[in-house]
Amino acid sequence: MPEQRVPDVVISRLPLYLRTLKQLRAQGQSLISSHQLAEILNLTSAQIRKDLSMFGEFGKQGTGYSVPYLIEQLERILHVDQVWDMIVVGAGALGQALVNYPGFEANGFRIVAIYDNDPAKIGLHLGRLVVKDVATMPDDVRAHRWRIGILAVPEATAQSVAETMVDAGIRAILCYAPTILALPPEVRVQYIDPIVHLQHMSYYLEREDES
């Protein structure tokens, strides 16, 4: 498959293209040029054309891309023309917010189980789910062949919980704990840490005494 040679930085942009195209579709737009897409995304149109050309010929010279067709193709490329089951470990405020987040299913994902080790949280009803004992997680993951886990536990336990997930068969982890996990190379990890984004911006903010 030629797709396997695509640089990871290109892959990282495809979800942004897909999100934008779905917004345009919701607004009723059926065609888009690489130039328009570039403007919305603060990229260059050459970049977008180059990224997409790695997967095939999706646009016609002069008319741009068909929005529904490009959505379909990107969903296929990103493997979200199916819905992936996901587990969440950690049923604190963040885990609860994730279970209540309405945006997953329309984008290829579904939270099917949430776990915690706190007896006060086990048994809690969160939407359509009930918080389960994290000790039961490995067997569940094996039985259902779940592949995606969301880590919403404190920093101190993130590494050990991640290792347990991976031992059970999880191959992609979305990590909300402010740490860097050491895991086998075949496991994909993406991090979400508001501090990293805030510090990136505060660099550009003038201090009060400079303004």
Contact set with a second copy (CB under 8 A):
11-12, 14-16, 18-20, 23, 40-41, 77-80, 82, 84, 86, 92-94, 96-98, 100-101, 103-104, 107-109, 145, 147-148, 150, 171-172, 174, 178-180, 182, 188, 190-205, 207-208
Contact between 149 and 177 (Cβ < 8 Å): no
Phi, psi of 44 (to 5 degrees): -95, 155
Q: Which two tokens stand for residue 129?
A: 């789910």
Rank residues 31 and 83 by Cβ distance to a second copy and give the closer one: 83
Rank residues 25 and 147 by Cβ distance to a second copy and give the closer one: 147
Least Å distance, CB 2 to a second copy, is 14
**AA letter at 204:** Y
Question: Rounded distance, CA 112 to CA 103, Å?
Answer: 14
Rank residues 62 and 203 by Cβ distance to a second copy and give the closer one: 203
Least Å distance, CB 183 to a second copy, is 11
Rank residues 78 and 122 by Cβ distance to a second copy and give the closer one: 78
Least Å distance, CB 200 to a second copy, is 5
SS (H, E, C) 21-48: HHHHHHCCCCEECHHHHHHHHCCCHHHH
Rank residues 62 and 84 by Cβ distance to a second copy and give the closer one: 84
Q: Which two tokens stand for residue 142?
A: 């094996």
Question: Rounded distance, CA 200 to CA 11, Å?
Answer: 22
- Look-up of token digits 């570039």: 38
Contact between 124 and 130 (Cβ < 8 Å): yes
Least Å distance, CB 59 to a second copy, is 21
Least Å distance, CB 11 to a second copy, is 5
